[in-house]
């Protein structure tokens, strides 16, 4: 596979994956799952929406639960400055994607758009802040989720997404090519210096396969699974704890929330910042998604559609 040229000095600075907005059928059921079992902090809530953040996060929200038919409403990314936001909007428009300024509670100026996969995106430069609870050990509960890290999008158009995102300055950290060709079927793209902000995998789409949060240590992967079993939700522990030997390299646990949305928990990952860091190449099927564990069929086939 011929890798696209990385753009190290993009015209505008996307900084990181920021948040996910999902629709859920029952807010109290979802609150019990995310807050009581996984340890999310409630930044704000009202009758039809709950704004959540991880223990280490100073931003107002990284996960927004809205009352509605289960779907993903938006995957949010951050740019650094308001000027970057203007440039970003212009970039999407110039590429032929519709963009629109929208009002979003608790966020600064925000625009909506889509990417070549059809991912429902929103970008903003700022958000209200809340206290980081990183060292507030008394606030740690359940799986003790720390911060939002990345999301994975399913799409038939992986190569297009790779080209589009690297064109915005995303860097490719790992990728998988098809068994019999050089077609990319899995690409990890990053801006914040670890392996991923957004991942694209080949499948029907656009759908969001999972969004991922960090937990403090390996033991919380087991604790999260234990907690779901104890809550009568054993069936929602989908895959793991195990390790992604390739691609990804990290330990993980995949859970399904009460509406079937998939969340990944993982304890740590590697730093990748330097210009000489070459993307790690894997070729299917010679890779081990779960190391010693085989993903269940539904981990491949099921995902959340966009609203």
Chain residues binding a second copy by CB under 8 A are 8-9, 13, 15-16, 56-59, 78, 80-81, 108, 125-129, 132, 134-138, 147, 192-193, 216-219, 221-223, 225-231, 234-235, 237, 241-243, 245, 249-251, 267-278, 288, 291-293
Q: 207 or 262: whose CB is closer to a second copy?
A: 262
Cβ closest to a second copy, residue 72 vs residue 242:
242
Q: Among 240, 235, 268, 244, which Cα is nearest to 254's?
A: 240
**CB nearer to a second copy: pick between 155 and 236:** 236
Least distance in angstroms from the C-beta of 56 to a second copy: 4
How far is it, in rounded angstroms, from Cα 154 to Cα 13? 24
Residue 115 in contact with residue 165, Cβ under 8 Å? Answer: yes
Which residues are bridge partners to 71 per DSSP?
23
User: CB-wise, 15 or 305, nearer to a second copy?
Assistant: 15
- Asked if the peptide bond before residue 285 counts as cis, ω within 30 degrees of 0, the response is yes
State residue 263 phi and psi, 5-degree precision.
-120, 135
CB of 216 to a second copy, least distance (A): 7
β pairing state of 207-214 and 237-243: unpaired
Kindly provide the residue ranges of all beta strands, DSSP E only, lying in 109-206, ordered along the sequence.
110-114, 120-124, 148-155, 171-177, 184-190, 198-202
Which residue's CB is nearer to a second copy, number 184 or number 279? 279
Report the nearest approach of a second copy to the CB of residue 83 (Å): 8
Of 170 and 306, which CB lies nearer to a second copy in the complex structure? 170
Angle at 201 between CA 219 and CA 170, to 5 degrees: 85
Closest CB 49 distance from a second copy, rounded Å: 21
What is Dmax (Cα atoms) for the chain?
Answer: 52
For the bound state, the minimum distance from the C-beta of residue 41 to a second copy, rounded and expressed in Å, comes to 14
Whichever of 203 and 280 has its CB closer to a second copy, that residue is 280
**C-alpha 110, offset from chain centre:** 19
Cα 150 from Cα 88, distance rounded (Å) = 19
Q: Is the preceding peptide bond at 241 cis, omega within 30 degrees of 0? A: yes
Question: What's the closest the beta carbon of residue 18 comes to a second copy, in angstroms?
Answer: 8
* Lookup: tokens for 67: 């009352």
Q: How far apart are CA 3 and CA 178, in angstroms?
A: 14
What is residue 253's three-state secondary structure? strand
Nearer to a second copy, 119 or 146 (CB): 146
């Amino acid at each position: 596979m011929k890798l696209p040229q990385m753009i190290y000095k993009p015209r505008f600075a996307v900084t990181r994956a920021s948040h996910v907005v999902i629709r859920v059928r029952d807010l109290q059921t979802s609150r019990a799952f995310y807050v009581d079992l996984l340890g999310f902090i409630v930044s704000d809530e009202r009758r039809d929406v709950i704004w959540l953040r991880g223990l280490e996060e100073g931003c107002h929200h990284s996960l927004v639960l809205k009352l509605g038919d289960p779907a993903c409403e938006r995957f949010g990314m951050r740019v650094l400055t308001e000027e970057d936001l203007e440039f970003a909007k212009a970039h999407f428009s110039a590429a032929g994607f519709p963009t629109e300024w929208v009002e979003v509670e608790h966020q600064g100026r925000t625009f909506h758009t889509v990417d070549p996969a059809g991912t429902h995106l929103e970008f903003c430069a700022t958000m209200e802040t809340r206290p980081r609870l990183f060292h507030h050990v008394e606030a740690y509960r359940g799986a003790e989720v720390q911060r939002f890290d990345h999301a994975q999008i399913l799409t038939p158009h992986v190569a297009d997404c790779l080209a589009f995102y690297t064109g915005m300055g995303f860097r490719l950290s790992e990728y998988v090519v098809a068994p019999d060709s050089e077609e990319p079927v899995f690409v990890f793209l990053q801006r914040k210096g670890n392996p991923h902000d957004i991942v694209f995998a080949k499948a029907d789409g656009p759908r969001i396969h999972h969004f991922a949060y960090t937990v403090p240590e390996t033991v919380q992967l087991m604790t999260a699974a234990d907690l779901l079993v104890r809550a009568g939700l054993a069936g929602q522990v989908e895959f793991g704890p195990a390790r992604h030997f390739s691609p990804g390299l990290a330990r993980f646990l995949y859970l399904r929330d009460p509406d079937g949305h998939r969340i990944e928990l993982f304890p740590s990952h590697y730093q990748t910042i330097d210009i000489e860091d070459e993307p790690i190449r894997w070729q299917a099927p010679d890779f081990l998604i779960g190391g010693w564990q085989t993903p269940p069929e539904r981990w491949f086939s099921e995902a959340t559609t966009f609203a």
